[in-house]
């Protein structure tokens, strides 16, 4: 297995922490699909760069500039399928309240770009989902 796919995902997280959203966006395919199901305020399927920007824009507008992600674990589960566990937190922009959480993510990486990402409330939920058909094989047209 190649570590290149893991590095693509790590690079996007580094760009987000540096608030270099153009670089983070460049790590995603034009037709990227973001899936948010349970455990998050804005749920649904968000398609393309615009959908990605809108969802994460809402997220970052809720927090101060101190909001950061720390990768706890990142590994390739199979070719092009990356699992990531991260803690994240900072202060609420309006409330000033300290927020800390941990979430898991699955990423499909094809041709050096993220084509699909899904957020999960827990590590176990992400690893259980990794065997589902939408993750078990590369998405091809």
What is the Rg, in whole angstroms, of the alpha carbon atoms belonging to the chain? Answer: 14
pLDDT at 138 over 70: no
Range list of H helices, 1-141: 4-17, 21-26, 48-61, 123-129, 133-136
pLDDT in tens, 52-111: 888 888 878 888 889 999 999 999 999 999 999 999 999 988 898 998 999 999 999 999
Domain parsing of the chain, residue ranges: 4-134
Give 106's strand partners: 83, 118
CATH annotation of 4-134: 3.10.450.50
pTM of the model: 0.89
């Amino acid at each position: 297995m190649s570590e290149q796919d893991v590095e693509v995902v790590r690079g996007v997280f580094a760009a987000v922490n540096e608030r270099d959203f153009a670089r983070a966006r460049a790590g995603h395919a034009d037709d990227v699909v973001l899936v948010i199901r349970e455990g998050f305020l804005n749920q649904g399927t968000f398609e393309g760069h615009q959908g990605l920007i809108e969802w994460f824009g809402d997220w970052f507008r809720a927090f101060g500039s101190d909001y950061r992600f720390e990768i706890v674990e990142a590994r390739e589960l199979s070719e092009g399928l990356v699992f990531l566990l991260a803690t994240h937190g900072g202060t609420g922009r309006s409330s000033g309240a300290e927020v800390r959480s941990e979430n898991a993510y699955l990423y499909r990486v094809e041709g050096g770009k993220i084509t699909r990402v899904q957020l999960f409330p827990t590590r176990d939920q992400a690893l259980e989902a990794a065997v589902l058909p939408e993750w078990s094989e590369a998405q091809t047209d």
